[in-house]
Structure 1
Amino acid sequence: MPYQLSILGVYVPTVIVLCLAGIAVTWVVDCVLSRLEVYSHVWHPALLRAAMLAGICATLDLLAYHSF
């Protein structure tokens, strides 16, 4: 995968695009967990959301850059 993508003639780092995708995935997972009322059993919901975002973005980056 290239380290930069050309979007409308502007070179953007691929990591930024993958993190934007990670934000969208995290939002969907957050909606599902909210409907299942999982956050009522969690000590700190905001901390769980931040950890999910970091984990999903890191997973997307690893899949993009280290896929075989």
Structure 2
Amino acid sequence: MPREISFFDAYIPTLLLLVIAAGAVAFVADRILVRIGLYNLVWHPALFRVSMFVCFASLMGLYVYA
């Protein structure tokens, strides 16, 4: 995959698009986990949400760049 993607003659880093996609995936996963009731078992929900986002973004980045 290319390092940059041309979007209306502006080069956007692929990693930026991956972070946006990871945010969407993390949001959907967060809504599912709220409905299941997992956050009753989590010590710090905000920290859990951020770490979940970082994991998704890292996995997508490794998939593309490795």
- How many residues end up aligned between the 2 structures? 66
Aligned residue number for residue 11 of structure 2 = 11
How far 1:65 sits from its partner (Å)? 1.0
- 4+ long deviations beyond 3 Å: none
How far 1:31 sits from its partner (Å)? 0.4
How far 1:8 sits from its partner (Å)? 1.6
How far 1:9 sits from its partner (Å)? 1.4
Q: Which amino acid aligns with 1:59?
A: L
Answering whether residue 21 of structure 2 is matched by residue 28 of structure 1, we say: no
C-alpha distance in structure 2 between counterparts of 1:25 and 1:6, whole Å? 24
Q: Which amino acid aligns with 1:17?
A: L
RMSD of the TM alignment (CA)? 0.6
Runs of 5+ consecutive residues of structure 1 not aligned to the other structure: none
Runs of 5+ consecutive residues of structure 2 not aligned to the other structure: none
> Percent identity among equivalent residues?
38
C-alpha distance in structure 2 between counterparts of 1:37 and 1:10, whole Å? 43
CA deviation profile, 1:20-40 (whole Å, cap 9, x unmatched): 000000000000000001001
